[in-house]
A = this chain, B = another copy of it.
């Protein structure tokens, strides 16, 4: 913590962030969305066109530069992306397209809290689709919904999707992606018999039993915006019939830094964090307990790098207990110990972090096991 609501990511945390971003990029690119990078600073005048200089005023961080320009730190980017689209959009032949970015965003939170969950400065993925009509928007929206399910699944998260209010974003249809979290600030109502979530308190509409409250955190929110921003900022195209129309837009957000907090909330034990396989800082912690084995440990690490796996080699001069505790705490999904069993009979002691299951494997068996685990 640099200050309340403001955080730095140390090297291991940053690696997790990078891997989560990698998962998001993979699934965004699969839908055909193209990544761009918009600006953090934007002139306040741009926000006047949509009227959000007023509706977003309570959360905007503003700055005046020495030339007297009124700027703000972008809390979201509908206006800027629409302005970009307006600059090059002319014909229906250019549609549909979807643009996205992964970027630090800023909101003046009245009560920054729960670490990465509600901060003033946070990482977000925001995507924006542009279509000729509502039917096209529905296709883009459905592709994003499906991509979101894949993203959260690959991050090891159990997500609940619910219809939601569009609020100050505008538009009609919107859905939220939420996870259960003890520190959650939203609530859903859960039927323990039917295993279903509801927005309203009361009895289960199906089995009539009483619903119980679950605290939830929102990780993603998708919106069918319609033409609110394209009409206000002139992102127009000439349609087949020769008429000029505003593009029909959708927007799709994911709280990237929140995903980290949500994973830790859902996946830990008394020893520390248990990172899911695809988003751990490293794939394997390799604990070396004898200096004479260091060269062989680095050779194994190189072999695993050759098949795309990452290894954190603990070669510190420290006791075995210290090294084991740190390996558990860091939470890489697999821990291999290179010690007296390796000297005596060439065996590494492998531990699966999640189940605490242990195996004794030769070097080749370990490589095969990990390849199977990560590519299988």
Instruction: Answer yes or no: A367 CB below 8 A from chain B CBs.
Output: no
Could you say which of B10, B41, B58, B108 contacts A121, with CB atoms under 8 Å apart?
Answer: B41
Cα(A61)–Cα(B42), bound, Å: 13
- Say whether B65 contacts A63, CB under 8 Å: no
* Contact indicator per residue, chain A 4-44, by CB within 8 Å of chain B (1) or not (0): 00111111001001000000000000000011111111110
Copies of this chain present? 2
A7 to chain B, nearest CB (A): 6
Instruction: Give the nearest-CB partner of A103 in chain B.
Output: B104
Cα(A11)–Cα(B37), bound, Å: 8
Instruction: Answer yes or no: A69 CB below 8 A from chain B CBs.
Output: yes
Instruction: Answer yes or no: A3 CB below 8 A from chain B CBs.
Output: yes
- Say whether A80 contacts B41, CB under 8 Å: no
* Also in contact, A7 and B84, with CB within 8 A (given A62-B63, A63-B63, A65-B61): no
Instruction: Answer yes or no: A115 CB below 8 A from chain B CBs.
Output: no
Residues of B within 8 A of A8 (CB): 36-39, 80, 84
A9-B36, A39-B121 given; 8 more Cβ-contact pairs under 8 Å: A2-B80, A6-B39, A8-B38, A8-B84, A41-B120, A41-B121, A66-B108, A66-B110
Instruction: Give the nearest-CB partner of A123 in chain B.
Output: B37
Instruction: Give the nearest-CB partner of A121 in chain B.
Output: B41
Instruction: Answer yes or no: A229 CB below 8 A from chain B CBs.
Output: no
A362 to chain B, nearest CB (A): 30
Could you say which of B36, B65, B73, B120 contacts A120, with CB atoms under 8 Å apart?
Answer: B65
A103 to chain B, nearest CB (A): 8
- Say whether B110 contacts A43, CB under 8 Å: no
Q: Which residues of A contact B (CB under 8 A)?
A: 2-3, 6-11, 14, 17, 34-43, 46, 58, 61-63, 65-67, 69, 71, 73, 80, 83-84, 99, 104, 106, 108, 110, 120-121
Instruction: Give the nearest-CB partner of A58 in chain B.
Output: B66
Majority DSSP secondary structure for residues of A touching B: mixed
Cα(A41)–Cα(B108), bound, Å: 11
Cα(A80)–Cα(B121), bound, Å: 15
A-B contact pairs, 15 of them (CB 8 A): A2-B38, A2-B41, A2-B42, A6-B42, A7-B39, A8-B38, A11-B36, A17-B37, A39-B121, A40-B40, A40-B104, A40-B106, A58-B66, A61-B63, A65-B120
A207 to chain B, nearest CB (A): 46
In the complex, which of the residues A3, A43, A73 has the most CB atoms of chain B within 10 Å of its own CB atom? A3
Cα(A63)–Cα(B6), bound, Å: 14
Cα(A83)–Cα(B6), bound, Å: 14
- Say whether A84 contacts B10, CB under 8 Å: yes
In the complex, which of the residues A41, A61, A108 has the most CB atoms of chain B within 10 Å of its own CB atom? A41
Cα(A306)–Cα(B336), bound, Å: 31
A351 to chain B, nearest CB (A): 25
In the complex, which of the residues A8, A14, A38, A69 has the most CB atoms of chain B within 10 Å of its own CB atom? A8
- Say whether A36 contacts B65, CB under 8 Å: no
Cα(A73)–Cα(B120), bound, Å: 13
Could you say which of B7, B43, B73, B108 contacts A2, with CB atoms under 8 Å apart?
Answer: B43
